[in-house]
Each structure stands twice: as C-alpha cells, then as structure tokens.
Amino acid sequence: MWSDIPDRRCCLDAVDAYAEAVTKNVLLLFDDLKTQGEKDKSFREWLQGEWAEFDINDDMTFRCLNEAEDYHSTRQFLYFDAIPRQMLGLAMAGLFHLWEQLAKQILYWALRAPQPDHESLSCKLSRADFKTLDKWLNRFTWNRDGTPFESQPFYPGLKLLRLIANVVKHGRGPAATELKVLAPELFDSNENCPVQDPGSVDLMLAPDHFEAAVNAVRGFFEALPAKLARDQLPWYDR
C-alpha cells in the first residue's frame, strides 16, 4: 500500500466513489423497503379482521392466526428494519477503514523523508490504531492559529465513525461502552432481534448517520495541512 503517493484530491475522489457506491446499493434499500412495508400493511389489516371475527372456542384457528401474526412480525422486523441497518453498519465500518488506510498512506509519505528506516516506519503505521494515528497527525499544524487535530470541526464525526466501526466489528466491549455515552440513541434497539448474535450490538443506524460520517471524512481531507495534502507542494518536494 506504500507504493502509491496520495494527495488531497485522490483521497477525496476515493471517499466520493465509496459514498456513491453505498448510496446506490445500500441507502436506496431503505426507500425500497419502506415502500414494500406500506404494501405489506394489507396483510396486517386482513389479520386484524380475522382476529375480530375469531371464535374463542376454535383452537385450530387461534393457533393458525397466532403463527401467522408471529411470522408477519418477524418478517417485518427482518426485512424492513434489522437487515438494512446491519448492512449500513458494515458500510460505515468500510468507510472508516478506507479513511484509516488513506491516512496511513498520507502519513507514510509525509514522515518517510526524515526517517532512514522506511521499513520500520511502514511496520509502525501498519500496526497503528486510531489513538496512535491521532498522535502522529497532531505533529502537523492544522491551521494558522495552531488548533490541534482533536479540535478540528470534523474530529467528533470521525471519532463517532471509529466507534461505530469497532462496535460493528467487535460487538460489546470498550468501544460500545464509549459509544453509548456519546450517542445513546443508537442503542434504543429491540433486544430480541432475530438476527442478533448474543455478543453483538444492534445499532439503530439510519442513512443520516452515513451521510454525516462521509462529511466528517471529507472534512478531514479538505483540512489537511499542505505537507500532508501534497497538492500545494512543489513537484520536487512531493
């Protein structure tokens, strides 16, 4: 991954291409499934009518209607709620890892000049987590007044995206605990999710969360210092 020399423009293009692919292939599912959900209401209305005319002494009809209602409720939850949100969670995790790889490439080419041991630098960056990248990025001046990396406008959104990605990947743990403090509304989920693993967390994600994450990642690349962005350096210093 270290053979490519990224600049601000190519990073923004990569983020835009990823966002476009997710918008076309994942976010549209939310609209399609809402439409299907509206059509599915006819079954619910029929079921309610059957319950209204139900003979309390008819045990067979009771069991059939009860099973039909359970199946319908599970189907509604799976197709119109749980599965789209889980797909969106995977898309957001992918967006974070795209940012992470691009950030590591940018740092490698910015830091390699003063370091004679390029292989050691590449190994350190390959193993670096978000906190380590945070420290390296703080070495650079992000704007004229010297505001640190953590105080940039995009940083809260980037941090939130990192936590969401970790929760999607690892489930319950330190990241989930931290995310619940920052965004408790993401945890107002159905504990009886039929597709939920006991150790996972069913985050209440929506398309707005993905759009906000894309804006945060774009904000990072748009705010890159010249030494990192490389698009404002003379060709011999890139």
Q: What share of the chain is helix, strand, coil (3-state, %, to 5)?
A: 70, 0, 30
Closest to 153 (Cα-Cα) out of 223, 208, 230 = 223
Tell me whether residue 68 is in a domain.
no
Tell me whether residue 53 is in a domain.
no
Closest to 11 (Cα-Cα) out of 109, 91, 83, 86 = 109
Question: Per-residue pLDDT tens for 67-112?
Answer: 655 555 555 555 566 777 888 999 999 999 999 999 998 888 888 7
Q: How far apart are CA 70 and CA 58, in angstroms?
A: 19
Rg over alpha carbons for the chain, rounded to the nearest Å, is 24
What integer pLDDT is reported at residue 66 of this predicted model? 59
Low-confidence ranges of the chain (pLDDT < 50): 2, 51-52, 54, 58, 194-195, 233-238
User: In the chain, how many domains are there?
Assistant: 1
What integer pLDDT is reported at residue 231 of this predicted model? 64
Say how many CA atoms lie within 13 Å of 125 toward its Cβ: 23
Tell me whether residue 182 is in a domain.
yes
Tell me whether residue 137 is in a domain.
yes
Give me the DSSP letters along 32-93.
Answer: HHHHHHHHTHHHHHHHHHHHHT--TT-HHHHHHHHHHHHHHHHHHHIIIIIHHHHHHHHHHH
What integer pLDDT is reported at residue 96 of this predicted model? 97
What integer pLDDT is reported at residue 235 of this predicted model? 44
Tell me whether residue 167 is in a domain.
yes
pTM: 0.75
Give the structural domain span for 219.
8-28+85-237
Tell me whether residue 50 is in a domain.
no
Q: How far apart are CA 150 and CA 153, in angstroms?
A: 9
Tell me whether residue 46 is in a domain.
no
Provide the 10 A C-beta neighbour count for residue 195: 13
Please check whether residue 175 is in contact with residue 194, taking contact to mean a CB–CB distance below 8 angstroms: no
Tell me whether residue 208 is in a domain.
yes
Please check whether residue 152 is in contact with residue 222, taking contact to mean a CB–CB distance below 8 angstroms: no
